[in-house]
């Protein structure tokens, strides 16, 4: 039952993002979307420093820091192709066309996030399995981030003028990418060539890149918006509330 709810929540989060664009005219550039991103960025950053990183090092896995750095660099490369849609940027390059590289990069990001969640569900030895708040935090962090990303993606699809039907098909396929990662994480055993903790470290590195980019992006005129600051701090506080 828990697994079904996880899959359902992850898919519905993306659908809600699409619905908010189509029916409520919420866009990737709207203040509300940027505030949701700020909240998720604060949550992901605090979870990384307070739970994920200390617990990964507690496993005494060799070179865990190298894999965190690798995840940071992987996200840097993915955003070169995605145009930064992971933190709310939706740039249309040509009407009638959605860059395949953008969709692939975004899907790889979402897929990788799901694999360690699948490892948790399968009971594979993973750092967050020993701490309930960290286990919940991984799923919650991914869930919170999916809504503003879905809003940015749907905004881009509509702005690209590829048609409503095609836009919903693409969004629907994207909504399943993390679930596919979860299923793969449950099926494949990484014990022979890569422990799940190393993969979690890569995902944490990706979280660090996304969250710091969101937090340090300035508003127009290089003024750090007070409400955005409050949302970042609220995201950090949520880390303590889920204990």
Who contacts 50 (Cβ-Cβ below 8 Å, separation ≥6)?
A: 239
**How far is residue 34 from each of residues 13, 91, 227, measured CA to CA in Å?**
16, 15, 10
Distance CA 152, CA 65 (A): 31
- Long-range contacts for 120-125 (Cβ within 8 Å, ≥24 apart)? 120/185, 121/2, 121/3, 121/6, 121/182, 121/185, 121/186, 122/185, 122/186, 124/185, 124/189, 124/190, 124/191, 124/196, 125/195, 125/196, 125/197
pLDDT at 130: 54
CA terminus-to-terminus distance, the chain? 22
pLDDT of residue 44: 93
Domain boundaries, the chain: 2-22+32-238
pLDDT in tens, the chain (243 residues): 588 999 999 999 999 999 998 887 777 677 888 888 899 999 999 999 998 999 888 887 788 999 999 999 999 999 998 888 887 776 666 777 877 889 999 999 999 999 988 888 877 666 655 555 556 788 999 999 899 899 989 988 988 888 899 999 999 999 999 999 999 888 876 554 457 888 899 999 999 999 999 888 755 545 557 888 899 999 999 988 876
How confident is the model at residue 167, as a pLDDT?
92
Q: For 70-101, write each residue's pLDDT tens digit.
A: 999 999 999 998 888 887 776 666 777 877 88
Look at residue 133 in the predicted model and tell me its pLDDT: 53
């Amino acid at each position: 039952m828990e697994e079904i709810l996880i899959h359902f929540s992850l898919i519905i989060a993306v659908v809600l993002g699409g619905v908010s664009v189509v029916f409520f005219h919420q866009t990737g550039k709207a203040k509300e979307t940027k505030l949701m991103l700020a909240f998720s960025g604060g949550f992901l950053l605090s979870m990384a420093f307070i739970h994920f990183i200390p617990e990964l090092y507690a496993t005494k896995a060799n070179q865990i820091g190298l894999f965190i750095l690798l995840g940071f660099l992987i996200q840097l490369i993915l955003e070169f192709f995605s145009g930064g849609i992971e933190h709310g940027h939706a740039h249309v390059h040509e009407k009638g066309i959605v860059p395949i590289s953008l969709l692939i990069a975004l899907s790889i990001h979402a897929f990788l996030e799901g694999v360690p969640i699948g490892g948790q569900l399968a009971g594979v030895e993973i750092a967050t399995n020993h701490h309930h708040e960290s286990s919940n935090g991984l799923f919650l962090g991914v869930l919170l981030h999916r809504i503003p990303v879905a809003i940015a993606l749907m905004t881009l699809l509509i702005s690209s003028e590829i048609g409503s039907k095609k836009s919903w098909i693409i969004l629907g396929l994207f909504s399943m990418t993390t679930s596919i990662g979860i299923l793969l994480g449950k099926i494949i055993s990484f014990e022979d060539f890569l422990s799940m903790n190393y993969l979690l470290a890569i995902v944490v590195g990706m979280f660090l890149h996304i969250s710091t980019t969101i937090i340090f992006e300035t508003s127009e005129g290089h003024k750090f918006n007070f409400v955005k600051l409050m949302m970042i701090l609220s995201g950090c506080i949520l880390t303590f509330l889920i204990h």
